[in-house]
Structure 1
Amino acid sequence: SLGSGDEVFEAAKEAIDSWQMFNHSMASLHPVGIDTSLQTCVAVLFRGYGLWILNPARILYRLSESSLRDGRVRQFGFAYGTLPGHIAKGEECFSVEIDTITNEVQFRITVISRPGHLLSWIGSLIMTREQKRFRRLAGRAMKSYVDLKLGVEPG
């Protein structure tokens, strides 16, 4: 959880739009500071197991705040689709959501993919482990951004 309430949701939306989920040691975004508008192309440089892998992608769609899930959860975010040269083939959606009943704010990564490169076929177990590691680091980066934005002491 990123916290609860509208202030947390607003800070989390800002974090999504500024790619904060990539603000950690495992990944870096190129070009830095790019926006999240439709059709924007981006490359993510991933580091793991002594390898550096550049993964190109294009933003396919955005979730506006009016996007509802289960009739009670407002969502905000975007999804990108992989481009040739990406280690996987598929789509990743990065979103934040607020439950309109509990006011709980969550960060979510939804991935639909399959190996798209010989390395990922060979190392599918490693790739799965690295995806889990990325999720943890991305969640921490989002929480840190929201807390800093709202003046919450780390802890």
Structure 2
Amino acid sequence: MRRAPGRSGRALTYPEVGASLTGELPPGYRHQRHRVRLGTGRALFERSAAAVTGWELHRRAGVRPALGTPPAVAGSDVDLTAALGPLALRMSCRVVAVVDEPDRRGFAYGTLTGHPERGEEAFVVHRDADDAVWLEVVAFSRPGRWYTRLGGPLARDAQRAATRRYLRALVELPAAPLP
């Protein structure tokens, strides 16, 4: 796992950097930990890992990285946009760690100043000893803006819905290699 500081000058909004990848989520946050079996085989693992690190997972889930966003690199900042009905929600995050192991690949990003939430989310594809391929999404968060504090349950529901979209996005990944 590689970690690097950000280069944009914007600050992370929480102190527990990297905790989404450690297995121990910090207290005082809402926690989410979901995983889904994608299938089996090295080819599926490679396609799925490329979809995660190349932002295709996010695109398929309706969360758009800014044009020209490179694959996830530790220390890089990414501006994301999610449509909420007629509204577009902009969110800025920093890739705080990249996982690049033979049977585990993905990354974690953390929220930057101005993001509606405070916390971190990790997206990791792994292949187990039985050749099964899994996507795991782990997050901890709490409201970061007045409207997410005010929205309470609605903000939590929106985050759960986004996680479900992430999980479905790779389950529905076509068999063909990604562009």
* TM-score for both structures, normalised by structure 1: 0.82
The total of aligned residue pairs comes to: 142
Question: What pairs with 1:1-155 in structure 2 (closer than 5 Å)?
Answer: 1-24=37-60, 26-66=62-102, 74-100=103-129, 102-149=130-177
Q: Which residue of 1 is the match for residue 3 of structure 2?
A: none
Hey, what's the Cα distance between the residues in 2 that align with 1:26 and 1:133?
A: 11
Larger strand share, 1 or 2: 1
SS in 2 for 1:21: helix
RMSD: 1.9
Change (3 A) 1:49 1:126: farther
Larger helix share, 1 or 2: 1
- Quick check: 2:111–2:118 contact (8 Å CA) kept in 1? yes
* Gap regions ≥5 residues in structure 2: 1-36
TM-superposed CA distance for 1:50, in Å, is: 3.6
Change (3 A) 1:25 1:36: closer
Hey, what's the Cα distance between the residues in 1 that align with 2:96 and 2:145?
A: 21
Runs of 4+ in 1 over 3 A off after TM superposition: none
TM-superposed CA distance for 1:121, in Å, is: 0.6
Paired letter, 2:123: F
Q: Give the percent of matched residue pairs that are identical in Structure 1 and Structure 2.
A: 26
Change (3 A) 1:12 1:24: closer
Paired letter, 2:128: D
Change (3 A) 1:122 1:83: same
Hey, what's the Cα distance between the residues in 2 that align with 1:62 and 1:24?
A: 21
- Quick check: 1:45–1:52 contact (8 Å CA) kept in 2? yes
